Structure 1
Amino acid sequence: VAAFKECKADAIIAVGGGSSMDTAKAIGIIITNPDFADVRSLEGLAPTKNHAVPTIAVPTTAGTAAEVTINYVITDVEKQRKFVCVDPNDIPDVAIIDPDMMSSMPKGLTAATGMDALTHAIEGYITKAAWELTDMFHLEAIKLISQHLRDAVANKPEGRKGMAMAQYIAGMGFSNVGLGIDHAMAHTLSAHYDTPHGVACAMLLPIAMEFNKEHTGERYREIARAMGVKNVDSMSQTEYRDAAIAAVKKLSEDVGIPTHNDRIKEEDLEVLAKDALADACYPGNPCEATKEQVIDMFRKLI
């Protein structure tokens, strides 16, 4: 904010991943809404009155979709937490999605951001607010990610192109309906242990899907279908739910995502669960969770 004022700028160009674009969003909002100079005051549904300064967002990763969403995430270093700000006034005026800008991502970052996009699509598809229009975005994103993430990790042009589109349309979906407990827990992991956001989302995704499966009707059947699972229509509900979770695990394994975080300690679990349940993404989850259930989910990462 100080740098923006000092150089008397009238616009922002954000080039980078989600952190760069989220920083630009916060700066742009505070400049035009000086009553919110303390960024902590923007947590949750921010009651700002003015749109952010003109912003052009150029993502260099295929995952966060921050260039098209109403969300941004800020790390509060002092309190060891990440908090989510939700504000239609923060959406960039122009988004330039060019897969060539993503071609220099190393494999690990490609995998992590790609699995973040898959988490957006799956959580957005099963969230409480999901409806027909966002379902179209989310199912197509799941399909594209399943088809292209492995090739993107191998730095193949078609893979990069497919993931650029997938993460973008997933963003247009979840920005309108919210996310769920996976993101709430992932924000907590990242804040406490500096775990990369996409890695945290990916490690937790099968665990969160297992927790939510009894509250999703037939939606896991369509997730499994979008991920390329065959003969889903002949499966029982239990079978296609398990097949969807297995397909997510296989994709995560294929792109090298770890399954455990050895920095998590048993004595940390209560604080982690408390912070996750206070996260702005949690209310969108298709079912409620107790603190003990969230602790059990975190424990599966140890």
Structure 2
Amino acid sequence: MQFSKPGGRVMPRFTIPRDIHYGRESVGLLSTIRGKRAMLVTVGGEMKQRGILSRAETALRRTGMEVRLLEANNLEHVEQAVAEGASAMRAFAPDWIVALGSMAIDAAKLMWILYEYPEAALSDLHLPFSLPDLRRKARFAAIPSIGGGAPEATAFAEVGGTAEQYAWAAVDYGIVPDVTFIDPELGAAASSVEVAEAGLEAFAYALDAYAACEDAPFAEPPAQKAAELVLQHLVAAQAGDGFAREQILYAQTLAGIAFSNVRAGLTHALVRQTAAVLAGGRAQRGALNVVFLPHVIRFNAEDSRIRARYARLARALGLRGRADTLAVQALTDEIEALCATLKLACTLRQFGNAQELEGRFPAIAARAAEDFCTQANPRAVSKEDALEILRAAFGKAE
């Protein structure tokens, strides 16, 4: 957990969006925000095709605001895309930035920082919790899609990432959105694979956060609720049930609230660094979470104190096991069974070129051990520990 020091005292902090609007037609509640100019930020054509962009624009114009669209479609060139977006914001001078879709939220957060501070560069953002105050020029509204790491509720913004270079990222409570709108329609048109991976990503974030939040009592309830929603609804959501998909959207945001306030953990670090070397990159993250999560739980649970926390969560989720060891085993068994039910890859061997990926394990392990999120893991992690988990997650040849 990040600490601030008002008056010389070290005080814990819990930060979430000021308002979270949720439920059908909630995008229309953009009409409740007040300002002069709003810049809508999108990535790709998904929001336009689903009619979300039109609804958002209509709601904002209803307030009398001038509205302009910024399409950020060249995120493979992150520095250029963010600089161009920030330049467009400076030219238009919005007092609201409204990002539609999870990738757009991440990108727009970085643009927002450079809009507020034109003298800054992406390379200045690498130190966590070091940003100066934002909102001198604009506030931020987020409309998430399903999947993508819950930037609608977190202090994280991340774009890009390759085998040679870390993703461009900023971590600061100042970039938690002011207001978030969660509309179930945003999950209705997602593919079954997208829904399954989004749910498992939320589950992994929730469990990482729960394990790490012994001293963060405000983060524990959203972590537990997110895990409950995923186990209750993910299979039906993958099959297309509208109510179940709505619950997965809510689980995503709840998990984001939890992990943002404890800074995630080892699963997220391993996923980030492994996805960077895989074809498809960020798109692979949801599937990778369920591959790593059981192994991270087993690693962390070697500490009896952490094992007791996992066991308590397992029992709260309705899993059996009187002894803590048996409860934790029931939890990892449930995750692996869920992976099989959803017909997702359950080992790293099933991703792309297995031999090439295995050869990159030492580099991935080194980067994961140094990853910012690993600092929040409840058990210390060495490069050798990360490498052992990678090898376990690789699986055996059939």
Q: If the length of structure 2 is used for normalisation, what is the TM-score?
A: 0.70
SS in structure 1 at match of 2:100: strand
Where do residues 1-302 of structure 1 align in structure 2 (5 Å cutoff)? 1-17=86-102, 19-36=103-120, 38-52=121-135, 53-62=138-147, 64-77=149-162, 79-82=164-167, 84-127=169-212, 130-193=215-278, 194=281, 196-215=284-303, 216-229=306-319, 231-232=320-321, 235-259=322-346, 260=348, 261-264=351-354, 265=356, 266-302=358-394
1:191, 1:282 → 2: CA distance? 16
- How many Å separate the matches in 2 of 1:273 and 1:133? 31
Aligned to 2:71: none
| CA contact 1:179–1:281 (8 Å) conserved in 2 | yes
State the shift of 1:128 in Å: 5.6
RMSD between aligned alpha carbons? Answer: 2.0
Give a deviation string over 1:59-101, Cα, whole Å, max 9, x none: 1215622111111223245833225421111111210011122
Give the 3-state SS of the residue equivalent to 1:281 in structure 2. Answer: helix
What amino acid is aligned across from residue 90 of structure 1 in structure 2?
Answer: I
Identity %: 26
In the TM superposition, residue 117 of structure 1 has moved relative to its aligned partner by: 0.6
Which of structure 1's runs of 4+ aligned residues deviate more than 4 A?
none
Aligned length: 297
Partner-residue secondary structure (3-state), 1:208: helix
Which 5+ residue runs of structure 2 have no aligned equivalent?
1-85
Q: Give the superposition deviation at 1:136.
A: 1.3
Show CA shifts across 1:189-218 (max 9, x none): 111112622112221111111111122141
CA distance in 1, matches of 2:163, 2:147: 29
Deviation at 1:221, TM superposition (A): 1.7
What amino acid is aligned across from residue 277 of structure 2 in structure 1?
H
CA change 1:223–1:160 in 2 (3 A) is same
Choose between structure 1 and 2 for higher RCO, CA contacts under 8 A separated by at least 6 residues.
1
Q: Which range is displaced more, 57-66 or 156-165? A: 57-66
Q: Which amino acid in structure 1 is aligned with residue 337 of structure 2?
A: K
Flag the structure with higher helix content: 1
TM-superposed deviation, 1:31: 1.0
CA contact (8 A) 2:197 2:287 kept: yes
CA positional deviation for 1:246: 0.8
2:94 and 2:162 map into 1 onto residues whose CA distance is 28
8 Å contact from structure 2 (residues 212, 378) kept in 1:
yes
User: Residue deviations 1:32-82, cap 9 Å, x none?
Assistant: 12343x213212414222225322111121562211111122324583322
Distance (Å, rounded) in 1 between the aligned partners of 2:299 and 2:368: 15
Aligned AA (2:105): M
Uncovered stretches (5+) of structure 1, i.e. residues with no partner: none
SS of alignment partner, residue 160 of structure 2? strand
TM-score normalized with structure 1 length:
0.91
